[in-house]
Amino acid sequence: MPELPEVETIVRSLKYGNAGPGLIGQRILRVRTTWPRHIEHPSPSTFRKQIKDRLVEDVSRRGKYLVFSLDVGTLLIHLRMSGDLHMTPTDTGLGPYEHTRFELENRWDLRFSDARKFGRIGWYRDPAAILAKIGPEPLDDTFTATLLQDRLQSKSRMLKPLLLDQQFIAGMGNIYTDEALHRSGLHPLRRSDTLNEGETEALWRGIRNALYDGIRHNGASIDWVYRGGEFQNHFRVYQRAGDSCKVCGTTIQRIIVGQRGTYLCPSCQPEKAP
pLDDT 10s digits, 44-96 = 999 999 999 999 999 999 999 999 999 999 999 999 988 999 999 999 999 99
- Are the beta carbons of 266 and 253 closer than 8 angstroms? yes
Measured between alpha carbons, how far is 223 from 208 in angstroms, rounded to an integer? 24
Give the mean model confidence (pLDDT) for residues 237-256.
Answer: 98
Give the mean model confidence (pLDDT) for residues 86-107.
Answer: 95
Q: Is 2 a catalytic residue?
A: yes
Whether pLDDT at 4 is above 90:
yes
Closest to 76 in 3D by CA, of 99, 57, 60: 60
Tell me the average pLDDT of the chain: 95
| Percentage of the chain exceeding pLDDT 70 | 97
Tell which CATH classification among 3.20.190.10, 1.10.357.10, 3.30.1310.10, 3.40.630.30 matches the domain 4-131.
Answer: 3.20.190.10
123 beta partners: 75
13 beta partners: none
- Are the beta carbons of 110 and 98 closer than 8 angstroms? no
What is the pLDDT, as a whole number, of residue 226? 61
- Are the beta carbons of 239 and 178 closer than 8 angstroms? no
Query: Pick the catalytic residue: 62, 254, 260, 266?
Result: 260
CATH class of residue range 145-264 = mainly alpha
What is the pLDDT, as a whole number, of residue 221? 86
Whether pLDDT at 274 is above 60:
no
Closest to 262 in 3D by CA, of 236, 242, 239, 246: 239
Distances from the Cα of 263 to the Cα of 174, 218, 237, 246, angstroms: 9, 22, 6, 13
Q: Is 260 a catalytic residue?
A: yes
Q: What is the sign of the dihedral through the CA atoms of 245, 248, 249 and 251? A: negative
What is the pLDDT, as a whole number, of residue 249? 98
Whether pLDDT at 109 is above 90:
yes
Q: Is 64 a catalytic residue?
A: yes
Q: Name every residue whose Cβ is closer than 8 Å to that of residue 132 and which is 6 or more positions away in sequence.
A: none
Whether pLDDT at 147 is above 70:
yes
Query: Pick the catalytic residue: 2, 5, 127, 188?
Result: 2
Distances from the Cα of 188 to the Cα of 92, 167, 177, 217, angstroms: 46, 18, 9, 25
Which of the four pLDDT bands, split at 50, 70 and 90, describes residue 17?
confident
What are the sequence ranges of the domains in the chain? 4-131, 145-264
Q: Is 205 left (phi over 0), alpha (psi -120 to 50) or beta?
A: alpha
Query: Pick the catalytic residue: 61, 64, 160, 240?
Result: 64
User: 165 or 19, which is more confident?
Assistant: 165
